[in-house]
Amino acid sequence: VQLQASGGGLVQAGGSRRLSCAASGRTFSYYAMAWFRQAPGKEREFVAAISWGGGSRGYADSVKGRFTISRDNAKNTVYLQMNSLKPEDTAVYYCAATYGGSSGNYYSTQNDEYRYWGQGTQVTVSS
């Protein structure tokens, strides 16, 4: 699976941004997808994940209620809608994919569970 993240940029605090991650190469529909982020000097951290069926989603506590992950299997794309952005959301955002199993309800919050990674897109939130 090849992943291409896009949608990053500069946004003011309180604003919104939508990231997209386009997948190609294998059957996207059977892959759980996730977004991680890495700020300068910090480790990569989990942001949000969604099962291949779309029915199971998980969020980091720091973004819960502000960010929404979704997917369109027909377009082989996963999205991260980010609202009420804060300066501490500034980071490079990465999308990731892993085989989602047969149930359609699986996702992981763990970095090392994801086999495929996109190149990252920078989000900068100014105060």
The per-residue pLDDT for range 58-115, each reduced to its tens digit, is: 999 999 999 999 999 999 999 999 999 999 999 999 999 998 877 778 999 999 999 9
pLDDT at position 48 is: 98
Which amino acid belongs to residue 68?
T
Burial 110-125 (b: 16+ CB within 10 A, else e): eeeebebbbebbebeb
Q: Is 61 helix (H, G, I), strand (E, B) or coil?
A: coil
Q: Which two tokens stand for residue 61?
A: 């506590």
The per-residue pLDDT for range 37-58, each reduced to its tens digit, is: 999 999 999 999 999 988 999 9
Cα separation, 79 vs 33, in Å, equals 10
pLDDT at position 86 is: 98
Helices (H) and strands (E) in the chain, counts: 0, 11
Specify burial of residue 33 (Cβ count, 10 A radius: 0-12, 13-18, 19+): buried
Q: Is the pLDDT of residue 26 over 80?
A: no
Residues 5, 25, 46, 78: what is their CA dihedral angle, to the nearest 10 degrees?
A: 60
